[in-house]
Amino acid sequence: MKAGDVRNLTWASMGLLVTGLLLPCMTIHPALGELTGWVEIFAPSALASTQYSILGGVVAMFEGGSPGIAIILFLFSVLFPLWKLFTYLRFLRAARAGRAAAGRSLGLAIKLGKYSMLDVFVIAVLVVGVKGLPGGSRVELNAGIYFFAGSVLLSMIAGQFIKSAGAKAVAK
């Protein structure tokens, strides 16, 4: 794989990441078992379905009294992936210009890159948790989670190529 291919792969990952962060990743359809009919009559808004994007979920957690979890999710779902992809692009640009670009930032991005799927795992655990609630509540996955997961996979492939090929092979 040539540097241009890795660069295109990284930009594709960036596009999928931004799309995945903004599009809804899940819709929660609440239900209360046998009481659902009564609640629909007296408080229908209590059973309204709610869609969450990753960014929307972070904002909702922050506003809902869980700022610690919101900050952690923001760091690992938004800032870390963006930083990692920009680090890869900076490395590829420097390698193309013939400059040494490895440094600590790239090494750290590659080492921490293996934790990228952690975000997808957290969302999967949340889905399973909501599905296990009594009353028949259900979670529907939306396009955002697939775009986000695609971004993670593409960034892992780009990171593996950069790691295994090194600066000389990528610069060619």
pTM over 0.85: no
Average pLDDT over residues 78-107: 78
What pLDDT score was predicted for residue 94? 77
- The string of pLDDT tens digits covering residues 3-54 is 788 889 999 999 999 999 999 988 887 777 777 777 777 777 767 778 888 8
Question: Within a 10 A sphere around the Cβ of 100, how many other Cβ atoms?
Answer: 9
Domains and CATH numbers, the chain: 3-171 (1.20.140)
Q: Which residue has the tokens 């990692």?
A: 84
- The string of pLDDT tens digits covering residues 121-164 is 666 666 666 566 667 777 888 999 899 989 988 988 888 888 77
Average pLDDT value for the chain: 78
Question: Within a 10 A sphere around the Cβ of 6, how many other Cβ atoms?
Answer: 23
Sheet with strand 24-29: strands edge to edge: 50-53, 24-29, 138-141
CA distances from 120 to 67, 75, 91, 126, 144 (A): 20, 14, 26, 10, 11
